[in-house]
């Protein structure tokens, strides 16, 4: 008899991974992460354990070692095929071997193979990586330890090599996680927030520039471990020069000093007070099956697609008159509301609004590439800069192919991306923004999507920065080789990172300077930062590793763009940088071989896939286990509402207790996204109507509201109360618009970042009416809604 609740691997075998320990060290905006994975073989035969897991897409994996008993083996980086051959040769000769590989399709997926672990033997794997921390809308630095590897959807015509993942519900994960973080910065650490339960923040010095924090006991694998770190005066430009490796040859990346510059350009206030009223806004919505899942484990009542619909409505209402727009959605296929982008007016807005309300997660898989290709084929509208907004839960496997397309078209648009829910691919979401010159946001935990999306809309309405150039002023005898790709976009208050390799010497000046120049609304502007050239020692060579990762990523994108042209030449460059720096790449792997262990294997070696948490939970529907192969993706799922011994294939055939004990589960071909598209009922409750969104939905394209029953209901009043309170000489639409603005300012003040743009449009409409009774309307509106909003707050 098969016992569903005790099922760990497809063949019910014990899992050799026992625990994961993670230590995080954050210095200013750079993080070093050390993960230790402890394995133990409790079976009576040698095993090969395979663990497929996610890492941040921007991470530079720079150390990999294994400890067996008292023996430590440090891995070296080799060309991928050479490393695989060494691994196979080691196993066939009876040696223990360890192989760590980055996916060739997506840089945020790794597989770890622990080969020939004898019965009763334990092994400890140490994995280290460094990564930059992204600045969020509220100036917090975001660190995310992905605890989940959501099954990645692979296009039907993909020839990607197979990667197998076993996913089970978080309650069945048989290994534990411990997590601790140490923070240090030149500026005080003001607070740390998380989607997970933390122990209290502990300061290590009176200045509060050093602190520690730990994950509270009892953490379950039901979400990513996300930290938001806040410093006082976080937006300060900095520059760090790191000394090269003493054993490396001068003139090489690792042998020379490397400078990392962090700039925060500030725009003149006169520019920021004006917002562009033109532009072509293209919204691309993921409607794959997985968008029917709850947006987070803490908010089961709200699905990803429902939150995205609400957000799209808010965006639609906030667009300026005179712009152009269109809305696309994608899954196995793609749809668009209009054949091509149309002018934003009352008629087109109403048509789009009605279609948004009907959008659901019913388009199957996550094939984003065809929709992007179609969008890029559309001719740009003169004097209407294109802004592309992409909403997705980020479950695709052809990440590099998608990002290559975005980069090819970066000259015609800016791309703003939004990763919805836990497990969204950081490589994909950040890559969209980086390659498309835009900005990336992640919506997880208790985050509301609307504030983050509206901040990005504000960025898109900022005047485009043009003619960006970077110049270095260094002492005679010192030169710099830029390792970062050219800066393609600058937003107010957002960080720009630059890496440079310094060579040569100067006996006189010890200070350098970097200047970023750009054009903004016809005015030439510059931001300048001076820094000390005296290099600091860092045994981990953190800055060098990050610089190497930046260079490797640029070369890999270049390889994608060239297709077959110059492939071998670019690949050689990547391999050389990867091997020299000890940083992973798509063309290299970490390989470690225990040559002390040289006993022939007796009998066949068993293969064990380590399960990862699966977050594809939609209320009562919980996929029990997913074997995710790249083409196609295989899924076995179990519905909690059914008998625990029943299994379903893609045709929903039942496999029950009559199966033999050792019989493998049948292969199935249902893609994970398609599970939901097949129409499996979800008990997710319809959330109550939000008065704010009700009020927003009633606003007209011009910015005004109409005086009707729907408005009164949204304001929490009867139509009689609203009519009775209206001053006699006040126009109906003016009165309605004043009431809506008072409600927003008086009763929704904490959500101002969500409605500021549509309120600004409403105020502009009011000014255009030149109604002399506006002040009287404000007084009457305050009395009706029990508010005390000053007319100056409304722009009068």
CATH of the domain at 200: 2.60.40
Handedness of CA 218, 164, 397, 430 (dihedral sign): positive
For residue 649, the model assigns a pLDDT of: 26
Contact 64, 75 (CB under 8 A): yes
Greatest Cα pair distance in the chain: 97
pLDDT tier, 468 (very low <50, low <70, confident <90, very high otherwise): confident
Q: Are residues 215 and 85 in the same domain?
A: yes
Quote the DSSP letter at residue 385. Answer: -
Where does a domain end: 434, 461, 488?
461
Neighbouring residues of 134: CB distance < 8 A, sequence distance ≥ 6: 141, 142, 430, 440
Contact 327, 389 (CB under 8 A): no
- Beta-bridge mates of residue 525: 518
Distance between CA atoms of residues 14 and 547, nearest Å: 41
Q: Residue 4 pLDDT > 50, yes or no? A: no
Where does a domain end: 461, 488, 515?
461
Pairing of strands 122-132, 60-68: antiparallel
**In this structure, how many other beta carbons lie within 10 angstroms of the beta carbon of residue 142?**
17
Q: Residue 224 pLDDT > 80, yes or no? A: no
Neighbouring residues of 720: CB distance < 8 A, sequence distance ≥ 6: none
Q: Are residues 529 and 399 in the same domain?
A: no
Instruction: Give the residue from 390, 280, 358, 363 showing the smallest Cα distance to 326.
Output: 280
- Count of domains for the chain: 5
Distance between CA atoms of residues 163 and 268, nearest Å: 50
How many H-runs (helices) and E-runs (strands) does the chain carry? 17, 39
Q: Are residues 488 and 444 in the same domain?
A: no
> Lowest-confidence range among 437-446, 693-702, 708-717?
437-446
**Strand order across the 258-263 sheet:** 238-242, 258-263, 496-504, 478-482
Handedness of CA 617, 623, 629, 632 (dihedral sign): negative
Quote the DSSP letter at residue 650. Answer: T
Q: Are residues 390 and 443 in the same domain?
A: yes
Instruction: Give the residue from 636, 629, 631, 630 showing the smallest Cα distance to 651.
Output: 636
Query: Mean pLDDT in the chain?
Result: 79
Which tens digit of pLDDT belongs to each residue from 182-195? 999 888 999 999 87
Residues 702-730: what's their mean pLDDT? 93
**In this structure, how many other beta carbons lie within 10 angstroms of the beta carbon of residue 313?**
18
Helix (H, G, I), strand (E, B) or coil at 338: coil
In a domain, 612, yes or no: no
In a domain, 605, yes or no: no
Q: Residue 568 pLDDT > 70, yes or no? A: yes
Helix 346-356 with 304-318: angle, nearest 10 deg: 170
Where does a domain end: 461, 492, 507?
461
DSSP code per residue over 599-647: PPPPSPPEEEEEEEE----BTTEEEEEEE--SSS---EEEETTS-TT-E
> Lowest-confidence range among 283-287, 530-534, 655-659, 786-790?
655-659
Q: Are residues 197 and 254 in the same domain?
A: no
Distance between CA atoms of residues 307 and 391, nearest Å: 11
Three-class SS string for 716-737? CCCHHHHHHHCCCCCCHHHHHH
pLDDT tier, 397 (very low <50, low <70, confident <90, very high otherwise): confident
pLDDT tier, 273 (very low <50, low <70, confident <90, very high otherwise): low
Q: Are residues 667 and 759 in the same domain?
A: no
Residues 11-37: what's their mean pLDDT? 83
Distance between CA atoms of residues 294 and 301, nearest Å: 7
In a domain, 662, yes or no: yes
Handedness of CA 419, 422, 427, 430 (dihedral sign): positive
Contact 318, 281 (CB under 8 A): no
- CA-to-CA separations, 515 to 15, 70, 501, in angstroms, rounded: 54, 52, 16
For residue 174, the model assigns a pLDDT of: 66
For residue 445, the model assigns a pLDDT of: 61
Q: Are residues 447 and 298 in the same domain?
A: yes
**In this structure, how many other beta carbons lie within 10 angstroms of the beta carbon of residue 786?**
8
Contact 238, 252 (CB under 8 A): no
Instruction: Give the residue from 491, 494, 467, 472 showing the smallest Cα distance to 482.
Output: 472
User: Does the predicted model carry a pTM greater than 0.75?
Assistant: no
In a domain, 3, yes or no: no
**Whether the bond into 632 is cis, omega within 30 of 0:** yes
Which phi and psi angles does 283 have, rounded to 5°? -105, 125
pLDDT tier, 564 (very low <50, low <70, confident <90, very high otherwise): low
Quote the DSSP letter at residue 319. Answer: S
Helix (H, G, I), strand (E, B) or coil at 160: coil
Burial class (CB within 10 angstroms; exposed 0-12, middle 13-18, buried 19+) of 155: buried
In a domain, 650, yes or no: yes
Q: Residue 623 pLDDT > 60, yes or no? A: no
Q: Are residues 480 and 433 in the same domain?
A: no
Q: Are residues 246 and 295 in the same domain?
A: no
Q: Are residues 475 and 358 in the same domain?
A: no
In a domain, 377, yes or no: yes
For residue 66, the model assigns a pLDDT of: 87
Which tens digit of pLDDT belongs to each residue from 48-95? 877 777 788 788 899 989 888 788 889 999 999 999 999 999 888 888
Q: Are residues 294 and 375 in the same domain?
A: yes
Which tens digit of pLDDT belongs to each residue from 476-507? 889 999 999 888 777 776 788 899 999 988 77
Neighbouring residues of 450: CB distance < 8 A, sequence distance ≥ 6: 310, 311, 314, 751, 754
**In this structure, how many other beta carbons lie within 10 angstroms of the beta carbon of residue 74?**
12
**In this structure, how many other beta carbons lie within 10 angstroms of the beta carbon of residue 741?**
24
Q: Are residues 639 and 786 in the same domain?
A: no
Distance between CA atoms of residues 214 and 22, nearest Å: 10
Helix (H, G, I), strand (E, B) or coil at 438: coil
Distance between CA atoms of residues 775 and 727, nearest Å: 11
Handedness of CA 164, 170, 174, 180 (dihedral sign): positive
Contact 559, 574 (CB under 8 A): yes
CATH number where 337 lies: 3.40.50.410
In a domain, 165, yes or no: no
**In this structure, how many other beta carbons lie within 10 angstroms of the beta carbon of residue 55?**
24
Handedness of CA 6, 12, 14, 17 (dihedral sign): negative
Contact 446, 471 (CB under 8 A): no
Burial class (CB within 10 angstroms; exposed 0-12, middle 13-18, buried 19+) of 789: buried
> Lowest-confidence range among 502-511, 531-540, 565-574, 634-643?
634-643
Residues 599-625: what's their mean pLDDT? 45
Helix (H, G, I), strand (E, B) or coil at 110: strand
In a domain, 156, yes or no: no
Domain containing 715 equals 691-794
**In this structure, how many other beta carbons lie within 10 angstroms of the beta carbon of residue 479?**
12
Distance between CA atoms of residues 209 and 408, nearest Å: 43
For residue 561, the model assigns a pLDDT of: 66
**In this structure, how many other beta carbons lie within 10 angstroms of the beta carbon of residue 607?**
15
Distance between CA atoms of residues 426 and 164, nearest Å: 20
């Amino acid at each position: 008899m098969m016992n569903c609740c005790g099922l760990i691997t497809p063949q019910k075998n014990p899992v050799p991974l026992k625990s994961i320990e993670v230590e995080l060290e954050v210095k200013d905006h750079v993080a070093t992460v050390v993960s230790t994975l402890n394995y133990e073989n409790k079976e009576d035969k040698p095993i090969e354990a395979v663990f497929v897991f996610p890492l941040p897409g921007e991470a530079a994996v720079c150390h990999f070692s294994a400890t067996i008993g008292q023996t430590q083996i440090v891995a070296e980086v080799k060309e991928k095929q050479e490393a695989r051959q060494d691994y196979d040769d080691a196993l066939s000769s009876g040696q223990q071997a360890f192989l760590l590989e980055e996916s060739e399709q997506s840089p945020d997926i790794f597989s770890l193979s622990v080969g020939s672990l004898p019965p009763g033997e334990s092994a400890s794997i140490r994995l280290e990586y460094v990564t930059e921390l992204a600045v969020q809308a509220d100036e917090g630095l975001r660190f995310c330890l992905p605890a989940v590897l959501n099954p990645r959807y692979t296009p039907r015509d993909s020839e990607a090599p197979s990667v197998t993942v076993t996913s089970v519900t978080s309650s069945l994960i048989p290994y534990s996680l411990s997590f601790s973080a140490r923070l240090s910065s030149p500026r005080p650490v003001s607070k740390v927030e998380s989607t997970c339960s933390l122990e209290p923040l502990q300061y290590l010095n009176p200045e509060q520039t050093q602190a520690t924090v730990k994950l509270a006991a009892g953490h379950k694998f039901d979400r990513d471990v996300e930290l938001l770190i806040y410093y006082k005066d976080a937006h300060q430009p900095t520059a760090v020069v790191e000394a090269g490796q003493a054993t490396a040859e001068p003139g090489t990346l690792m042998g020379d000093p490397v400078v990392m510059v962090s700039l925060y350009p500030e725009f003149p206030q006169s520019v920021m007070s004006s917002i562009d009223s033109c532009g072509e806004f293209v919204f691309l919505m993921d409607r794959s099956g997985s968008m029917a899942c709850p947006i987070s484990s803490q908010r089961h009542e709200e699905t990803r697609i429902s939150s995205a619909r609400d957000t799209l409505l808010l965006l639609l209402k906030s667009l300026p008159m005179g712009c152009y727009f269109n809305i696309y959605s994608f899954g196995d296929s793609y749809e668009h509301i209009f054949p091509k982008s149309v002018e934003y007016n009352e008629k087109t807005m109403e048509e789009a609004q009605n279609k948004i309300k009907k959008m659901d997660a019913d388009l199957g898989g996550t094939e984003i590439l065809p929709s992007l290709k179609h969008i890029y084929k559309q001719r740009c509208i003169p004097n209407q800069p294109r802004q592309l907004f992409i909403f997705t839960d980020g479950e695709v496997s052809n990440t590099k192919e998608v990002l290559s397309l975005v980069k090819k078209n970066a000259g015609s648009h800016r791309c703003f991306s939004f990763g919805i829910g836990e497990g969204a691919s950081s490589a994909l979401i950040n890559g969209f923004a980086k390659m498309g010159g835009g900005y990336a946001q992640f919506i997880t935990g208790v985050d509301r999507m609307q504030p983050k999306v509206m901040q990005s809309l504000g960025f898109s309405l900022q005047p485009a920065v043009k003619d960006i150039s970077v110049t270095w002023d260094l002492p005679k005898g010192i030169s710099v080789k830029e390792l970062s790709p050219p800066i393609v976009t600058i937003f107010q208050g957002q960080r720009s990172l630059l890496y440079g390799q310094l060579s040569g010497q100067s006996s006189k000046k010890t200070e350098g300077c970097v200047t970023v120049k750009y054009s903004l609304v016809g005015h030439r502007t510059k931001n300048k930062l001076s820094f000390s050239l005296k290099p600091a020692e860092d045994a981990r060579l953190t800055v060098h590793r990050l610089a190497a990762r930046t260079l490797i990523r640029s070369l890999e994108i270049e390889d994608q763009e060239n297709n077959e042209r110059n492939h071998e030449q670019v690949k050689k460059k990547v391999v050389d940088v990867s091997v020299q720096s000890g940083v992973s790449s798509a063309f290299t792997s970490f390989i470690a071989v225990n040559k002390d262990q040289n006993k022939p294997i007796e009998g066949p070696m068993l293969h064990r896939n380590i399960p990862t948490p699966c977050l594809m939970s939609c209320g009562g529907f919980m996929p029990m286990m997913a074997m995710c192969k790249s083409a196609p993706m295989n899924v076995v799922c179990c519905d909690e509402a059914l008998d625990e011994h029943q299994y379903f294939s893609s045709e929903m055939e039942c496999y029950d207790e009559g199966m033999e004990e050792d019989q493998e589960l049948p292969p199935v071909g249902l893609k994970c996204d398609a599970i939901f598209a097949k129409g499996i009922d979800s008990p997710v409750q319809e959330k109550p109507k939000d008065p704010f969104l009700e009020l927003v939905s009633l606003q007209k394209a011009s910015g005004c509201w109409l005086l009707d029953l729907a408005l009164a209901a949204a304001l929490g009043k009867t139509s009689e109360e609203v009519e009775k309170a209206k001053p006699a000489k006040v126009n109906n639409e003016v009165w309605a618009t004043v009431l809506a603005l008072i409600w927003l300012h008086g009763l929704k003040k904490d959500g101002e970042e969500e409605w500021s743009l549509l309120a600004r449009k409403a105020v502009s409409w009011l000014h255009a009416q030149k109604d002399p009774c506006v002040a009287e309307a404000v007084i009457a509106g305050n009395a009706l809604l029990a508010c005390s909003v000053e007319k100056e707050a409304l722009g009068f």
